[in-house]
Amino acid sequence: MSRCVIIGGAEINGYERIRRNLRKDDFFICCDSGLKHTESLGIIPSLIVGDFDSHERPEPPVETIVLPREKDDTDTMYAAREAVRRGFEDFLLIGVTGERFDHTFGNVALLLWLDALGKKARIMDDYSEMEIVSRETKEINDTYAFFSLLNISGTAEQITISGAKYPLNGAAIHSEYQYGISNEVMPGKKATVSVGKGKLLLVKIFPD
């Protein structure tokens, strides 16, 4: 099945990098003002979702789900739920991190929700890629400037990092003390990260 790309309304400056990561068979869900990115991304929405409090309601020949403005789910959360209902297993979220920290944090938490359902998901913005480390070992190549491991869901234990400037073996990271910031992959190598218990947010920082 094709991948689902969810497009939010946060600012995007690095369109070229994102375009390189899009696929011809992606299913694009635009959330409300995420519609402003379609031309720069060179895509046509497959589905539009939103309450249209930040973008004029469109009238294109595209399936559109109009949501109430007073609701528990954000437009992005609803889009993810709808994509899961339609059977998607692989997700890319763009335009979901930016000036509104509350929305940013909520969208990062979406990665936890999708991971709990056994889905593959990552966020890409102008500065980084983000994904959850839980059941599977993750690899990081040396094209990234830095990578960080953040605990946003309690305690993560039995953490192993290899191939990096600051390795770990059987360590724990608590949400109260985030010491896994700004690690580096050793030149010419790939770093690996695994977690025996709990979950971590892996943030891979693009070079300037």
Domain containing residue 111: CATH number: 3.40.50.10240
Same structural domain for residues 142 and 122? no
Please determine, for residue 67, whether its predicted confidence score (pLDDT) is greater than 90. Answer: no
Given 66, 99, 126, which residue is the final one in a domain?
126
Supply the range of the domain harboring residue 113.
4-126
**Residue 2 carries which DSSP code?**
P
Q: What is the pLDDT of residues 95-116, one digit of tens each?
A: 999 888 998 999 999 999 999 9
Beta-ladder partners of 49:
31, 65
Query: Are residues 192 and 161 both part of a single domain?
Result: yes
User: What pLDDT sits at residue 52?
Assistant: 74
**Alpha-carbon distance 208 to 197, whole Å?**
34
Among residues 126, 152, 174, the one where a domain terminates is 126
68-77 tens-digit pLDDT: 776 778 889 9
- pTM for the full model? 0.91
Q: Do 24 and 110 fall within a single domain?
A: yes
Please give the Cα distance from 190 to 193 (Å, whole number): 10
Domain boundary among 98, 126, 154: 126
The CATH number for 183's domain is 2.60.120.320
My answer on whether 161 and 122 are in the same domain is no
Number of domains comprising the chain = 2
- For residues 52 and 89, membership in a common domain is answered with yes
Distance (Å, whole) CA 91 – CA 114: 9
Does the pLDDT at position 57 exceed 70? no
Closest CA to 37 of 59, 69, 67, 5: 5
Which pLDDT does position 72 carry in this prediction? 76
> What's the first-to-final CA gap in the chain, in angstroms?
34
Same domain (yes/no): 84, 162: no
